[in-house]
């Protein structure tokens, strides 16, 4: 470990600009002639559009133009797509209804975009948006997935009879049923995973710029994956060919999944810029974000877990219904299938697993990946079930987990995944020790003496990161490959630019990617710049989500660095008249091993560019590109323990300690990894205690449309966290790293609910465990 290399706790290179107000986010962008957009949105959850009258709006002060979906359609702009094909168990393809960027026939959720107003100021645009007159024929709405499946429910898309998108299964049904029939004990439970709004602090925004002289489009946008945005907008939405479209995702203020997708606004602002001849900027407000950003979770599952007489799990049967909202968002179909059911083995050796998943249309905003995406749902289901089973079987929760842990690797689960490495007991032991699990009953008694109810709960999670390999995901229905690209450009003076298709929106790539290079070459961190987020600069990339930037994005940098080093060694060997095999790179120098003959890094770089004295036939320059396609997922895992104290008079839960023990494989920058865990924990704790998207069941109106009603975790809701890391390096990638971005959000909710149900003395609790719900639950035991 060097001072600045892999493993070092380096302060972030990007911090100063954020701390001094010099960060540049999409809404900060301003170009000459820029105008402001406001979208006219549906006030109804479900309605036919009878007419759209923009005449009054068009003559409002400051208005440039008002455009609607008829014009968009006439210009050949395509519908939004879902990029992952899932087939139902009867072999039929998923039933995808049309999602128009601007609706003109039917609106299907409150917030569905209908028209765009472009005006001199955002206030004027909004004034005019209110003057657009739309005649609706209101239709009945349905917001809950189980209700939407019932006969007689409102039909949302003609393509999907009964609102069923697909009815999919994984695993062996017969073997699972047989094992359940002959089990010594079967734990049955209904699991609900509450619906969440991602809420990155930066609301979505986009600036569309059309240059008629070049017939060229530029799109500034709040995206986690600008290249995918360009690809999809070109190939499917017909906005512009890729060579005529530049997508820039500058500083992005958090994503958590919600900024993966290409939303109607990017498409419409680009198109509107061409129609109006002015650059068009749109910035979401928070209520618009609640109404239109893709939500997460929203599952209801029935679970049966079978045990033999020795408390070993013999089978798991899961029947899940997932609410996908009004339209199929970009990765929506993959989340409750391949990102969820494939993790249902958890950390346990389970001989038979069967999961059935039905996905359903409702009159709510589309649901897609949110931090963890499928894996929090799987973990919550499994770990609540394990806790329940331990209580039913009368064994300690740790003991039940220990007897069922997978202990040898690689391990093939019955649900596709092949776990490559792990030591689950190490994390369990570390967490229990850090939490002083053994001393809990004393603390419980002390709390009881002052009238408080203490509880403790654990959760052992596993997740799959760095979704891969491309050929495998392709065979499962993915519309894209899931590799990453990198380019390492050594300048003539030896400074280095690393271009990556990964995107940083808080993760600290500008530091960690540079640490990798600094460590490899021994050059100062300051001499390395990381370039990302611009399709005109970086050739191609798949972006950042699913904790893939380290395992996949940095592995691509490693491959490019290998090539750069190989060439640099050839040059150095030539210049020093040595054998290429004898050259080593250390401390910013190329050196003949075992001698004191060295060449500074910058001199080799200079030689590559002057090209005065290169090996025969060598091309000048020192710049290499690589694409890395992983051979497998990575499998971070760990154990979380929550200890809570409930005030029985108010039902308020205080987290008295939260312990996280994670195995992320090798770690590039422990400080940044810890930060990722902290943030994930806060979101998981938010799900468990505070956050819940609620629609009015009858009208389909969103009841939680601002921070007034949607409870975001604040500083005084949370404790400081106790973290530790265990390490079984990932054998599948050159750096041995697994990914850390989502673990906190995946592992924490069941730990909290297990602790709360332990404190209240019965198992009836759903998320979020609000003070009111906990208070009512406590009355039930009296």
Partner 1 sequence: MTTVTLTVNGRAVSGECEDRMLLVDFIRVKLGLTGTHVGCDTTQCGSCVIHMDGLSVKSCSILAVQASGSAITTIEGLSAQGEMHPVQAAFKEHHGLQCGFCTPGMVMTAVDMINRRGGSLTEEVVRTELEGNICRCTGYHNIVKAVLSADAEMAAGRQAAE
Partner 2 sequence: MYATSYHRASSVDEAVSLRGTAEDGKYLAGGMTLISTMKQRLAAPSDLIDLRHISQLAGISVEGRTVRIGAATRHADVASSQAIRAVCPAICDLASHIGDPHVRQMGTIGGSVANNDPAADYPSAVLGLGATVVTNQRSIPADDYFTGLFETALEEREILTAIVFEAPEKAGYAKFANPASRYAMTGVFVAKTAGGVRVAVTGAGAGGVFRHAGMEQALSAQWSPDALNAVAVDPSNLMTDMHADADYRANLIKVMAKRAVAKAG
- Residues in touch with partner 1 (CB under 8 A): 11-12, 14-25, 27-28, 30, 121, 123, 199-203, 251-254, 256, 285-287, 505-508, 671-672, 674-675, 678-683, 706-708, 712-716, 718, 720-721, 744
The residues in 311-350 that bind partner 2, with binding defined as CB under 8 A, are none
- Mark the segment that binds partner 2 (CB under 8 A) among 455-463, 588-596, 703-711, 745-753: 703-711
Q: Does 698 bind partner 2 (CB under 8 A)?
A: no
Q: Does 718 bind partner 2 (CB under 8 A)?
A: no
Neighbouring CB atoms inside 10 A of 367's CB total 29
Among 169, 529, 694, 763, binds partner 2 (CB under 8 A): 694
Q: Which does 19 bind (CB under 5 to 8 A by kind): partner 2, partner 1, none?
A: partner 1
Q: Does 411 bind partner 2 (CB under 8 A)?
A: no
The residue among 127 and 463 lying less far from partner 2, judged by its C-beta, is 127
Among 158, 709, 764, 781, binds partner 2 (CB under 8 A): 709
Q: Does 771 bind partner 2 (CB under 8 A)?
A: yes
- Mark the segment that binds partner 2 (CB under 8 A) among 125-133, 254-262, 275-283, 521-529: 125-133
Cα 399 to Cα 136, 308, 390, 434, distances in angstroms: 60, 15, 8, 17
Place of tokens 């008629």: 212
Q: What is the closest distance, in whole angstroms, from the C-beta atom of residue 636 to partner 1 in the complex?
A: 18
Q: Which does 536 bind (CB under 5 to 8 A by kind): partner 2, partner 1, none?
A: none
- Strand ranges, E, within 154-309: 164-171, 185-196, 205-211, 216-221, 245-248, 280-283, 296-307
CA–CA gap between residue 301 and residue 374 (Å, rounded): 13
Q: Which does 213 bind (CB under 5 to 8 A by kind): partner 1, partner 2, none?
A: none
Q: Does 96 bind partner 2 (CB under 8 A)?
A: no
Look up residue 183 and give its two tokens.
Answer: 């089990």
List phi, psi (to 5°) of 425: -70, -30
Strand-strand pairing, 652-663 and 722-726: parallel
Q: Does 770 bind partner 2 (CB under 8 A)?
A: yes
Q: Which does 323 bind (CB under 5 to 8 A by kind): partner 1, partner 2, none?
A: none
The residue among 449 and 715 lying less far from partner 2, judged by its C-beta, is 715
Number of residues this chain uses to bind partner 2 (CB under 8 A)? 26
Check if the beta carbon of residue 368 is closer than 8 Å to that of residue 296: yes
Exposure string of 13-22, with b = 16+ CB inside 10 Å and e = fewer, is bbeeeeeeee
The residue among 123 and 524 lying less far from partner 2, judged by its C-beta, is 123
Q: Does 690 bind partner 2 (CB under 8 A)?
A: yes
Phi-psi region of 515 (alpha: psi -120 to 50; beta: other; left: phi over 0): alpha
Q: Does 290 bind partner 2 (CB under 8 A)?
A: no
CA–CA gap between residue 292 and residue 93 (Å, rounded): 27
Exposure string of 311-343, with b = 16+ CB inside 10 Å and e = fewer, is bbbbbbbbbbbbbbbbbbbbbbbbbbbbbbbbb
Among 184, 211, 593, 707, binds partner 2 (CB under 8 A): 707
Q: Does 36 bind partner 2 (CB under 8 A)?
A: no
The residue among 630 and 686 lying less far from partner 1, judged by its C-beta, is 686
Q: Does 492 bind partner 2 (CB under 8 A)?
A: no
Q: Which does 776 bind (CB under 5 to 8 A by kind): partner 2, partner 1, none?
A: partner 2
Q: What is the closest distance, in whole angstroms, from the C-beta atom of residue 691 to partner 1 in the complex?
A: 11
The residue among 7 and 621 lying less far from partner 1, judged by its C-beta, is 7
SS3 state at 39: strand
Q: Does 476 bind partner 2 (CB under 8 A)?
A: no
CA–CA gap between residue 200 and residue 49 (Å, rounded): 32
Cα 446 to Cα 332, 439, 451, distances in angstroms: 47, 11, 9
Q: Does 92 bind partner 2 (CB under 8 A)?
A: no
The residue among 251 and 589 lying less far from partner 1, judged by its C-beta, is 251
Q: Does 772 bind partner 2 (CB under 8 A)?
A: yes
Q: Does 150 bind partner 2 (CB under 8 A)?
A: no
The residue among 330 and 365 lying less far from partner 2, judged by its C-beta, is 365
CA–CA gap between residue 452 and residue 207 (Å, rounded): 53
C-alpha of 203 from chain center: 16
Among 264, 651, 684, 747, binds partner 2 (CB under 8 A): 651
Is the sign of the CA dihedral 442, 447, 452, 458 positive or negative? negative
Contacts 24+ apart (CB under 8 A), 26-29: 26/202, 26/205, 26/206, 26/207, 26/220, 26/221, 26/222, 26/249, 26/250, 26/252, 26/283, 27/202, 27/203, 27/205, 27/281, 27/283, 28/250, 29/207, 29/220, 29/250, 29/281
Neighbouring CB atoms inside 10 A of 235's CB total 14
Binding site for partner 2 (CB under 8 A): 123, 126-127, 130, 287, 649-652, 690, 694, 703-704, 707-712, 714, 717, 770-772, 775-776
């Amino acid at each position: 470990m060097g001072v600045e290399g892999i493993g070092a706790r380096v302060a972030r290179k990007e911090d100063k600009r954020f701390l001094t107000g010099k960060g540049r986010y999409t809404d900060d962008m301003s170009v000459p002639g820029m105008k402001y957009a406001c979208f006219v949105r549906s006030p109804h959850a479900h309605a036919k559009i009878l007419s759209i009258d923009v005449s009054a709006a068009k003559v409002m002060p400051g208005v440039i133009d008002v455009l609607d979906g008829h014009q968009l359609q006439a210009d050949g702009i395509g519908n939004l797509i879902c990029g992952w094909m899932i087939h139902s168990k009867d072999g039929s393809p998923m039933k995808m209804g049309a999602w128009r960027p601007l609706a003109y026939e039917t609106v299907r959720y409150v917030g569905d975009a209908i028209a765009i107003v472009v005006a001199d100021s955002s206030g004027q645009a909004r004034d005019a948006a209110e003057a657009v007159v739309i005649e609706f024929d209101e239709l009945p709405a349905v917001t809950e997935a189980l209700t939407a499946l019932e006969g007689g429910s409102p039909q949302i898309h003609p393509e999907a009879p009964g609102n069923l998108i697909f009815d999919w299964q994984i695993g062996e049904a017969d073997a699972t049923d047989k094992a359940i029939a002959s089990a010594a004990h079967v734990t049955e439970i209904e699991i609900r995973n509450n619906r969440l709004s991602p809420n990155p602090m930066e609301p979505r925004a986009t600036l569309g710029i059309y240059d008629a002289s070049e017939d060229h489009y530029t799109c500034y946008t709040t995206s986690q994956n600008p290249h995918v945005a360009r690809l999809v907008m070109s190939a499917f939405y017909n906005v512009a060919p890729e060579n005529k479209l530049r997508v820039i995702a500058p500083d992005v203020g958090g994503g958590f999944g919600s900024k993966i997708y290409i939303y109607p606004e990017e498409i419409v602002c680009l198109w509107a810029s061409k129609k109006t001849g002015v650059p068009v900027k749109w910035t979401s407000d928070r209520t618009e974000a609640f109404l239109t950003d893709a939500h997460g979770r929203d599952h209801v599952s029935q679970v049966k877990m079978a045990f033999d007489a020795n408390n070993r799990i013999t089978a798991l049967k899961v029947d899940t219904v997932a609410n996908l909202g009004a339209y199929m968002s970009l990765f929506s179909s993959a989340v409750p299938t391949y990102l969820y059911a494939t993790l249902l083995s958890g950390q346990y050796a389970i001989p038979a697993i069967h999961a059935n998943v039905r996905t359903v249309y409702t009159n709510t905003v589309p649901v897609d990946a949110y931090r963890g995406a499928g894996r929090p749902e799987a973990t919550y289901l499994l770990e609540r079930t394990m806790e329940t089973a331990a209580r039913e079987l009368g064994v300690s929760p740790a003991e039940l987990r220990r007897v069922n842990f997978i202990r040898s690797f690689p391990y093939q689960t019955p649900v596709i995944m092949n776990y490559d490495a792990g030591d689950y007991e190490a994390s369990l032991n570390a967490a229990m020790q850090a939490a002083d699990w053994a001393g809990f009953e004393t603390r419980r008694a002390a709390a009881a003496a002052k009238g408080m109810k203490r509880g403790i709960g654990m959760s052992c999670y596993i997740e799959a990161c760095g979704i891969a390999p491309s050929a495998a995901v392709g065979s499962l229905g993915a519309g894209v490959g899931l590799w990453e690209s990198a380019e390492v450009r050594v300048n003539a003076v030896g400074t280095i630019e690393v271009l990556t298709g990964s995107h940083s929106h808080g993760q600290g790539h500008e530091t960690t990617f540079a640490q990798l290079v600094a460590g490899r070459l021994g050059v100062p961190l300051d001499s390395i710049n990381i370039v990302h987020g611009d399709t005109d600069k970086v050739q191609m990339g798949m972006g950042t989500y699913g904790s893939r930037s380290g395992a996949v994005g940095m592995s691509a940098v490693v491959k490019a660095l290998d090539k750069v080093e190989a060439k640099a060694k050839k040059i150095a060997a030539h210049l020093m008249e040595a054998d290429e095999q004898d050259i080593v790179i250390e401390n910013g120098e190329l050196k003949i091993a075992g001698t004191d003959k060295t060449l500074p890094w910058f001199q080799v770089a200079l030689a590559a560019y002057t090209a005065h004295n290169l090996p025969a036939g060598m091309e000048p320059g020192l710049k290499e590109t690589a694409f890395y396609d992983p051979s497998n997922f990575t499998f971070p895992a760990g154990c979380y323990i929550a200890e809570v104290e409930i005030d029985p008079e108010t039902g308020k839960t205080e987290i008295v300690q939260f312990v996280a023990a994670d195995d992320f494989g090798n770690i590039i920058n422990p400080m940044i990894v810890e930060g990722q865990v902290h943030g994930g924990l806060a979101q998981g704790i938010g799900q468990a205690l505070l956050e819940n998207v609620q629609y009015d069941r009858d009208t389909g109106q969103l009841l939680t449309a601002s921070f007034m009603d949607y409870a975001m975790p604040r500083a005084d809701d949370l404790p400081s966290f106790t973290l530790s890391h265990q390490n079984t390096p990932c054998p599948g990638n050159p750096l041995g790293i697994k990914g850390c971005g989502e673990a906190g959000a995946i592992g924490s909710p069941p730990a909290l609910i297990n602790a709360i149900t332990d404190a209240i003395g019965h198992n009836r609790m759903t998320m979020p465990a609000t003070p009111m719900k906990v208070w009512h639950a406590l009355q039930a035991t009296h």
